[in-house]
Amino acid sequence: MSISDSKPLLVMRRITKVYPDGVKALEGVDFEVARGEVHALLGENGAGKSTLMRILFGEIQPTGGEILFEGVRVRWRGPWDALSRGIAMVYQNVRLVPGLKVRENLRLFLSSLGLSTSNLDERVSRIAEDLGFKIDLDALVDELPMGARQRVDIVKSLLAGAKLIILDEPTSNLTPMEAMQLSATVKRLKSMGVSVVYITHRLEEVEELADRVTILRRGVKVGVFRPPFNRERLASLMVGEIDLKPRGRRSKPGARRVLSISRLTVVVEGVERVKEASLDVYEGEILGLAGVAGNGQEELVKSVLGILKPASGNIEVLGRSIHRTKDFYKLGGGYIPGERSEALALDMSVAENAAFIYFNQSGKTILLPSDMVRLYRELVGGFGLVAAGPWTQAGRLSGGNQQKLVVGSEALRRPKLLVAVNPTQGLDVATTRFVRNLIASMADEGTGVLLVSSDLEEVLELSDRIAVMSRGKITGVISRGEASMETIGVLMGG
Ligand SMILES: Nc1ncnc2c1ncn2[C@@H]1O[C@H](COP(=O)(O)OP(=O)(O)OP(=O)(O)O)[C@@H](O)[C@H]1O
Ligand SMILES: [Mg+2]
């Protein structure tokens, strides 16, 4: 049976959402999901994707419109209500109870829904087998990598009898390997008859997985498509015109070294994560550090920041040694972490967060509200930040706007050395372009950039030189001219 013949599992009609602070996030949106369908939800940052799905999952109430699930009009009192009827949501940063084993997490979850916990081990292993992976019930959830947590969360949803699973940007925090495993899982879910709503910014995932795509733009539905998808059309519907400005090469004879790493070795819990790594970053250049995530990049970055103490070797930022994180910022370092929650206090306001990044990093202790508002205005004017106002909680911004807040506040500080880790993670096409242009123009103005990214295209596009890291070692440093997917691929193999 094709999707069009079957009665839809879910129908959302004329959904409107106005947040209490007056932000109109959705306007008259229709959305439908068939049984066993993978339905992708696309749209630029702040388009309303998460809002629509939080309404479907009962996390927030719509201002208007109706939801029909299995032909019945429903009104959720909360997520437990949606869950008990067969709708589950898997978050980008999976929320499991820390300090507990996987088994205890699942037990707790089932009991809280009033569901049976008998034969749990057996049921879990059956579900996992259907999905094509294994679950270690004795593992502590805190020790699981993101991909494994996500699998636990998916199993959890099926234990609760989910007929529809919402995945909100499920691959943003995954390694490429984990992302491939997830896409296999999504296909299995589909063949089991479970429907999936798949939010993503990656068009190749849409092409691989989706039976249908709905595109949102500023809270309004602008199109629904079935395969074969036309990438350009999808992208242009999301954002309108995209500025793909190629950038000239930066030349800088006699440039100063802003970062010098020599023979750095970092040992974490007895394991050598970085082995005799040497790297230099000069002012005005972008040095890309490519490699599959988990090959020592994180430990290298943490050592540069003064968070990890190297076992041996030397690190100098602008000619000085780093002992504490404070030193890094004082000397003129800037940092964009791969995980934006590292840089933001989500329950504090946008303006306070901006000020913390802008001033506090350099040691200023007294922050005036007027300074904060000025910064906020610069972020809105210069960086396209969209927020209800300076005192809105940072946690209320869409994911992409949170990223703009971090990147923009760092950029305004004009650091001499910028360490940027996956700076465009979770950003839509237009914002990605914006952030890349911003990093390039910072380099043009003299900032030396260490760009750590698991996105090879990003590294190739931005970098003047590219270093490759594999199993803790720098396996090569090549110029932009020599670099290609192939040469880097070979170096990544170690
Ligand atoms: N709790 C909230 N309070 C007020 N406004 C909010 C809240 N959550 C989201 N918004 C606003 O609603 C709009 C839609 O946000 P939403 O999170 O749904 O976007 P999104 O499409 O998921 O974007 P992204 O791709 O960046 O995650 C944005 O303007 C956002 O700032
Ligand atoms: Mg979102």
pLDDT band at 225 (very low <50, low <70, confident <90, very high): very high
Strand partners, 73: 68
Highest mean predicted confidence (pLDDT) among 41-45, 165-169, 477-481: 165-169
Residue nearest to atom 8 of ligand 1 (CA): 396
Task: Quick: pLDDT tens for 335-372.
Answer: 999 888 888 999 999 999 999 888 876 666 677 888 89
Residue 245 has pLDDT above 60, yes or no: no
Ligand 1, closest atom to CA 23? 5
As a whole-number percent, the residues of the chain with pLDDT over 70 amount to 94
- Mean pLDDT over the full length of the chain: 90
| pLDDT bucket at 20, cuts 50 / 70 / 90 | confident
What would the mean pLDDT of 230-254 be, rounded to a whole number? 60
Atom 31 in ligand 1: which residue has the minimum CA distance?
Answer: 397
Across 68-77, 88-97, 239-248, 399-408, the highest mean pLDDT is recorded for: 68-77
**So what's the pLDDT on residue 247?**
44
User: What integer pLDDT is reported at residue 112 of this predicted model?
Assistant: 92
Is the pLDDT assigned to residue 243 strictly greater than 60? Answer: no
To test ligand 1's pocket by mutation, which of 56, 398, 402, 407 has the most ligand atoms within 8 angstroms of CB? 398
Q: State the closest ligand 1 atom to the C-alpha of 49, by its place in the atom list counted from 1.
A: 21
Residue 241: pLDDT above 60? no
* Atom of ligand 1 minimally distant from the CA of 19: 4
pLDDT of residue 4: 46
Q: Does residue 18 surpass a pLDDT of 60?
A: yes
Nearest CA owner, ligand 1 atom 18: 48
Residues 326-336: tens digit of each pLDDT: 889 888 899 99
Tell me what pLDDT residue 107 has: 96
pLDDT in tens, 435-461: 999 999 899 989 999 999 988 888 988
pLDDT > 90: percent of the chain: 67
Is residue 177 pLDDT above 90, yes or no? no
pLDDT at 252: 62
Counting ligands in written order, which one lies closest to the CA of residue 17?
1
H, E, C per residue of the chain: CCCCCCCCCEEEEEEEEECCCCCEEEEEEEEEECCCCEEEEECCCCCCHHHHHHHHCCCCCCCEEEEEECCEEECCCCHHHHHHHCEEEECCCCCCCCCCEHHHHHHHHHHHCCCCCCCHHHHHHHHHHHHCCCCCCCCEHHHCCHHHHHHHHHHHHHHCCCCEEEEECCCCCCCHHHHHHHHHHHHHHHHCCCEEEEECCCHHHHHHHCCEEEEEECCEEEEEECCCCCHHHHHHHHHCCCCCCCCCCCCCCCCCEEEEEEEEEEEECCEEEEEEEEEEEECCCEEEEECCCCCCHHHHHHHHCCCCCCCEEEEEECCEECCCHHHHHHCCEEEECCCHHHCCCCCCEHHHHHHHHHCHHHCCCCCCHHHHHHHHHHHHHHHCCCCCCCCCEHHHCCHHHHHHHHHHHHHHCCCCEEEEECCCCCCCHHHHHHHHHHHHHHHHCCCEEEEECCCHHHHHHHCCEEEEEECCEEEEEEEHHHCCHHHHHHHHCC
Q: Higher model confidence: residue 22 or residue 142?
A: 142
Residues in contact with ligand 1 (CB, 6 Å cut-off): 19, 21, 23, 25, 43, 45-51, 386, 388, 396-401, 428
Q: pLDDT tens, 284-300?
A: 999 999 987 788 999 99
Which of 26, 42, 44, 51 should be mutated for ligand 1, with most atoms under 8 A from CB?
51
Q: Is the pLDDT of residue 492 over 80?
A: no
Q: Tell me the pLDDT tens digit for each residue of 181-220.
A: 999 999 999 999 999 999 998 888 999 999 999 999 889 9
* Ion ligand 2 contact residues with beta carbon within 5 A: 50, 399
Model pTM score: 0.66
The residue to mutate among 16, 27, 50, 432, having the most atoms of ligand 1 within 8 angstroms of its beta carbon, is 50
Q: Whose CA is nearest to atom 25 of ligand 1?
A: 45
The protein residue with its alpha carbon nearest to ligand 1, atom 17, reads 398
Kindly tell me if the per-residue pLDDT of 244 is higher than 50: no
Q: What is the distance in A from the centroid of ligand 2 to the CA of 86?
A: 22
Which ligand has its closest atom nearest to the C-alpha of 402?
Answer: 1
| Domains present along the chain, CATH in parentheses | 10-238 (3.40.50.300), 257-492 (3.40.50.300)
Pick from 67, 396, 43, 53: nearest CA to 220: 43
Distance 48 CA to ligand 1 centre (A): 6
User: Which ligand has its closest atom nearest to the C-alpha of 201?
Assistant: 1
**What does R_g of the chain's alpha carbons equal in angstroms?**
23
Residue 85 CA to ligand 1 centre (angstroms): 26
What span, in angstroms and rounded, lies between the C-alpha atoms of 20 and 63?
Answer: 10
Give the pLDDT of residue 310: 95
pLDDT above 70 for 2: no
d(CA 247, CA 20): 43
Q: Does 97 score more than 50 pLDDT?
A: yes
Nearest ligand 1 atom to alpha carbon 393: 3
